[in-house]
A and B are shown apart, each in its own frame.
Chain A
Amino acid sequence: MITELGHFALILALFVAMIQSTVPMIGAARRHVGWMAVGRSCALIGFALTALAMLSLMHAYVTSDFTVINVIENSHTDKPLLYKITGVWGNHEGSMLLWVFMLSLCAAAVALFSDNLPPALRARVLAVQGMIAVGFLLFILLTSNPFLRTFPAAPNGNGLNPVLQDPGLAFHPPFLYLGYVGFSVAFAFAVAALIEGRVDAAWARWVRPWTLASWCALTIGIAMGSWWAYYTLGWGGWWFWDPVENASFMPWLVGTALIHSSIVVEKRDTLKSWTILLAIITFSLSLVGTFLVRSGVLTSVHAFATDPERGTFILLLLVAAIGGSLTLYAIRAPSLKGGGLFAPISREGALVLNNVLLSCGCATVFLGTLYPLFLDAMGGPKLSVGFPFFNRTFAPMMVPMIIAVGIGPMLAWKRGDLLGALQRLWVAYIATALVLLVAFYLTYGGPVLAVFGLGLAAWLGSAVLTEFAERVRLFRVPLGDSLRRAIHLPRSAYGMSFAHFGLAVSVAGFAASAWDKEAIEILKPGGSIAIAGYELTLESVTRVPGPNFMADDAAIRVTRDGKLVKMMHPERRFFPLQKQTTSETSIRTNFLTDLYVALGESDTQGDWTVRVYWKPLVPWIWIGCVIMAFGGVVSLSDRRWRVGAAARSARRGMAEPVTAAGE
């Protein structure tokens, strides 16, 4: 009964979305206030309806209603409650419902927090979001309905893929989807602007908080996914250039470019058509990513069950949304007039460089991801180009970018003084040189590229700190004055510093992975492995029952210089229902290095394969991502404040030239 309610709510949401996508659009064209206002009510009702659908599917899962096909296929009575709930989006139908739910959440947020938007623009934005919702609701209802029933009820369900039964993965999709779908707001704003034929600083100021928020969610989502892969797959890797990972990474790259280019639109009223194009492409890549994952066009470790009918449907959606918006772009963009001019060496110039490098990076990832597909289309096979390709193409492109991130914020708008900026960065040179020397000395004979990478991280980190010190005139004016300046700095300046610093932290983590050590040995209880000064002794392996699995739990004593550091307990879990084995790794971290232990196969004589990795700085990868996202949130807190008080911002800008140059 509740399931049917959810089903009806979803159908109703489709009709509401149809109204949302047409009536406000016509209203905006005819300047009819009442028609325009319809968009807002529709967005709120649509949200309530999809939330109801989502909740009712959850209800079916929690109560283990085995007349619902989706529940039979993906759940089981023995499954822990947390995974009954998160199992809702652990499958194709449910994850699409989550997608639509996030979309309606974004539309409702736009409807609620857009009082200062011109009514026509708001109506158009909501209408465009309505169109996207119509497409995806149709997709769910026609090809991937999670509410279908079967009678008689099945005795029990098939259970969730054991690999997905993990707290990290439970919350990874919602963040990822919030990021993906959040970019639909920027997309809707871009399309609305193209329809109106006007893009100005105000437009950029409205669109930026939405872009920032989705960027933060996407950053966290990607980081969680990578962290999950790290501790659960048992290979010690944290990024595999897997098509599904790339599908989330590409919108992130272009979204990052979009955040930066919209600053230029806001501050200098130029780069307009480029920014619009980026907004369209960012969301398009989210859609393409969804398509790649959902259609099974590319094989991947993440692949869900696939169905060509669904693929064709999503392809139609893609053509309508992306093709439509790009057509509109081709017609309208040439008439968008650029504003301020700027010299190549300037803040704008640096931001353009950032955009060019990020876009090229994204294009590389795109080619690497789709190369197998292009081969496939020509009658070729499905293969992966893998690590070698990406490491050789993507990484070198990011090197100049990281160097430039250190310098860019030091340049003034319009015309910058590169030499002056380089001179003011002297502290950063010293810090970089020191780190390079120490790292080179400590790891002499080791991988040189890792030292270089660490140097890059040191450069970026110290350049960010130098830039901040310059802003508050540290050591140039009395300390009290510096403090006062620091307090009055806009939040967005802090946000930028945090985000860039987070990038430096992550880069250090990426670079240091070249120093990983690993040891794989076959041990009998009592045997031991030595790695990086630690001694790991396998004491025993015991069989412990879990809620829906049997675990072989290894007790491993870790000592250093004879002293006990920690007892580690990696497990191998066997899920009898799916006849599948998963590996639960055990990780000891001190935030500087990780000691990572995974239990492998055993033979009949009681020997166990034990894999041990020592990974320096690897936690910094995710710490850096969290700092980046935190920077985004800090900047966002400034935005919201400012959107309501644009006039105050202008006044502050005049009073304090340093901050006016900021951002």
Chain B
Amino acid sequence: MKRLIYLLPLVLFLGLAGYFLVALRPNHDVHELPSVMIDKPAPVFDLAGLGDSKPLALDALKGHPFVLNFFASWCVPCRQEHPLLMRLATENHIPLYGIAYKDKPVDSNRLLASFGDPYRQVGIDQDGRVGLNFGVYGVPETYVIDSKGVIQKRFVGPLTAESVEKELLPLLKQLGRS
């Protein structure tokens, strides 16, 4: 029995190595994640607005397709994604709305003040409840929602130039037409 304890480190390590192996498996696209929420109505939310922003409510956003981005000031990948969001907002003029996930309003404000604010409106989700309803794993995450309030697409992790060109923009165009 006592000898088994000495085996424990080895067993733990082998488990870890297994995980590493899975993480390394070729050609698995990390941004593609089936979500049970796709084609379902987006969870209803009505959040206090950040700073001077109006409250962010799902009902008010319906009528046009829009993009919803969960972010936080403490998240490094969000900073990586940020310039892309800025470009989407200023060049492509997409209707981008933000939700500050588990973040103090002061910190979110500071982030937007120093790096620019790509969002039309930002809602505060400090306790992460809306994130929970959406099934957010972590930040950043981005959802495309159609004019009826139905979730069409979910992007997990930072958006990339490629995913924006190939998926996000075409999808928005298509939704805007129908």
Complex: A277 Cα to B10 Cα, angstroms = 11
Q: Is A312 an interface residue (CB 8 A)?
A: yes
**Which of B26-34, B51-59, B92-100 sits within the interface?**
B26-34
The residues of A that contact B102 with a CB separation of less than 8 Å are 388
Question: Does A373 lie at the interface of the complex (its beta carbon under 8 Å from any beta carbon of B)?
Answer: yes
Complex interface residues of chain A between 496 and 529 (CB less than 8 A to chain B): 518, 520
Stretch at the interface among B38-46, B68-76, B145-153, B164-172: B68-76
Tally B residues with Cβ within 8 Å of A.
40
Say how far B126's CB is from chain A's closest CB, in angstroms: 11
Residue of chain B at shortest CB distance from A322: B13
The reply to whether A383 and B156 contact each other, CB–CB distance below 8 Å, is: yes
Tell whether A376 is near chain B: CB-to-CB under 8 Å: yes
B33 touches A381 (CB 8 A): yes
B74/A387 in contact, CB under 8 A: yes
Is there an interface contact between B33 and A386, defined as CB atoms closer than 8 Å?
Answer: no
- Interface assignment of B176: CB less than 8 Å from any CB of chain A: no
Q: Are A329 and B9 in contact, CB atoms less than 8 angstroms apart?
A: yes
A601 contacts chain B at the CB level, 8 A cutoff: yes
In whole angstroms, what is the CA distance A329 to B5 when docked? 11
Asked if B21 is at the interface (CB within 8 A of a chain A CB), the reply is: yes
Residues A376 and B17 in contact, CB atoms below 8 Å apart: no
Contact indicator per residue, chain A 382-396, by CB within 8 Å of chain B (1) or not (0): 111111100000000
Which residues from A are CB-within-8-Å of B110?
518, 520
Q: Mark A352-387, 1 if CB is under 8 A from B, else 0.
A: 000000000000000000101111110111111111
Residue among B26, B30, B113, B158 making CB contact with A376, cutoff 8 Å: B30
Interface residues of B in 1-34 (CB under 8 A from A): 2-3, 6-7, 9-10, 13-14, 16-17, 19-24, 26, 30-31, 33
The smallest C-beta distance from A196 to any residue of chain B, in angstroms, reads 17
Please determine whether B10 and A329 come into contact, CB atoms closer than 8 angstroms.
Answer: yes
B72 to chain A: which residues have CB within 8 Å?
386
Give Cα A373 to B19, complex, Å.
Answer: 8
With the chains together, A319 CA to B13 CA distance in Å?
8
> Which of B21, B24, B33, B140 has its CB near the most chain A CB atoms (within 10 A)?
B24
Tell me if A's interface is mostly helix, strand, loop or mixed.
helix
Q: Are A600 and B114 within 8 A (Cβ)? A: yes
Closest CB of chain B to A388's CB: distance in Å? 6
Instruction: Check: B130 CB closer than 8 A to any chain A CB.
Output: no
- Of the candidates A280, A312, A381, which one forms a contact with B24 in the assembled complex, judged by CB atoms under 8 Å apart? A312
Chain B: interface secondary structure? helix
Say yes or no for A240: interface residue by CB 8 A criterion: yes
CB of A45 within 8 Å of the partner chain: no
Q: Is the CB of A323 within 8 A of B17?
A: yes
Beta-carbon contact of A377 and B10 below 8 Å = no
Contact among B24, B33, B158 for A380, CB-based, below 8 A: B33
Residues in chain A near residue B116, CB distance under 8 A:
601
**A327-B10, A334-B2, A386-B72 given; A297·B24 CB < 8 A:** yes
Asked whether, in the complex, the Cβ of A382 is within 8 Å of the Cβ of B30, the reply is yes
Encoded as 1 (CB less than 8 Å from any B CB) or 0, chain A from 44 to 73 comes to 000000000000000000000000000000
Instruction: Known contacts A333-B6, A609-B114; decide if A291 and B30 are in contact (CB<8 Å).
Output: no
B72 to chain A, nearest CB (A): 7
Contacts of B157 in A (CB 8 A): 299, 381-383
Task: Given the known inter-chain contacts A323-B17, A601-B116, please indicate yes or no for A388 contacting B74, CB distance below 8 A.
Answer: yes
CA distance A148 to B15 in the complex (A): 37
Residue of B nearest to A371 (CB): B138
**Measured CA separation A297–B16 after assembly (Å):** 13
Which of chain A's residues has its CB closest to B140's CB? A383
Convert A224-236 into 0s and 1s, putting 1 for each residue whose CB lies closer than 8 angstroms to a CB of B: 0000000000010
- In the bound complex, residues from chain B placing their C-beta under 8 Å from that of A318 are 17, 20
Taking the closest CB of chain A, its distance from the CB of B9, in whole angstroms, is 5
Interfacial chain B residues near A326, Cβ < 8 Å: 9-10, 13
Contact of B137 among A242, A295, A308, A383 (CB under 8 A): A383
Q: Given A301-B80, A329-B10, A374-B19, check contact A385 B138 (CB 8 Å).
A: yes
The one of B3, B24, B30, B33 in contact with A311, judged by C-beta atoms closer than 8 angstroms, is: B24
Determine the chain B residues whose CB is within 8 A of the CB of A374 once the complex forms: 19
Is residue B139 contacting chain A, with contact meaning CB distance below 8 A?
Answer: yes
Query: Given A323-B14, A383-B138, does the pair A301, B76 have CB atoms closer than 8 Å?
Result: yes
Residues in B neighbouring A272, C-beta threshold 8 A: none
- Cα–Cα, bound, A147→B126 (Å): 52
Interface pair B31/A381, CB less than 8 Å apart:
yes
Report the minimum CB–CB distance from A320 to chain B (whole Å).
11
| Bound form: Cα–Cα A291–B77 in Å | 20
Q: Max chain A CB contacts within 10 Å: which of B6, B16, B116?
A: B6
Q: In the complex, how many angstroms separate the beta carbon of B7 from the nearest chain A beta carbon? A: 5
B17 close to A315 (CB less than 8 A): yes
A482 within 8 Å of B by Cβ? no
Smallest CB gap from A327: residue in B: B10
B20 adjacent to A291 (CB under 8 Å): yes
Q: Which residue of B lies closest to A233 (CB)?
A: B79
Point out the residue from A297, A383, A385 that lies within 8 Å of B20, measured CB to CB: A297
The reply to whether B17 and A319 contact each other, CB–CB distance below 8 Å, is yes
Chain A residues closer than 8 Å to B14, beta-carbon distance:
323
Interface residues of A in 414-470 (CB under 8 A from B): none
Enumerate A450-496 residues with CB–CB distance to B below 8 Å: none
* Closest Cβ–Cβ distance, residue B160 to chain A (whole Å): 11
Instruction: Give the residues from 290 to 304 in chain A that come closer than 8 angstroms, CB to CB, to chain B.
Output: 291, 295, 297, 299-301
> Pick the contact of A386 from B20, B21, B22, B75 — CB < 8 Å?
B75
Given A295-B24, A319-B17, A384-B76: A330 and B10 within 8 A (CB)? yes
Are B22 and A377 in contact, with the CB atoms below 8 A? Answer: yes
A315 and B19 within 8 A (CB): no
A611: Cβ under 8 A from any B Cβ: yes
Instruction: Output the nearest chain B residue to A375 by Cβ-Cβ distance.
Output: B137
Within 8 A of A (CB), among B96-146: 102, 110, 113-114, 116, 137-141
From A297, A323, A330, B23 is in contact (CB under 8 Å) with A297
User: What's the Cα separation between A326 and B20 when bound, in Å?
Assistant: 18
Q: A315: which B residues are within 8 A, CB to CB? A: 17, 20-21, 24
Asked if A20 CB lies within 8 Å of chain B CBs, one says no
Are B24 and A386 neighbours in the complex by a CB distance under 8 Å?
Answer: no
- A281 on the interface (CB 8 Å rule)? yes
Complex Cα distance, B10 from A388, in Å, reads: 31
Binding site for A on B (CB under 8 A): 2-3, 6-7, 9-10, 13-14, 16-17, 19-24, 26, 30-31, 33, 72, 74-77, 79-80, 102, 110, 113-114, 116, 137-141, 156-158
Q: Which 7 A-B pairs have the closest CB atoms?
A: A383-B138, A381-B156, A387-B74, A326-B10, A377-B22, A386-B74, A330-B7
A-B contact pairs, 26 of them (CB 8 A): A284-B13, A297-B23, A299-B77, A301-B76, A301-B79, A308-B24, A308-B26, A315-B24, A318-B20, A322-B13, A330-B10, A334-B6, A380-B156, A381-B31, A381-B33, A383-B77, A383-B137, A383-B138, A383-B140, A384-B75, A386-B72, A386-B74, A520-B110, A520-B113, A520-B114, A611-B114
- Using A315-B24, A386-B76 as known contacts, list a sample of 16 further A-B pairs with CB atoms less than 8 Å apart, ordered by residue number in A: A280-B9, A281-B9, A299-B157, A301-B80, A318-B17, A323-B13, A323-B14, A330-B3, A370-B19, A373-B20, A376-B22, A380-B33, A383-B138, A383-B139, A386-B75, A388-B74
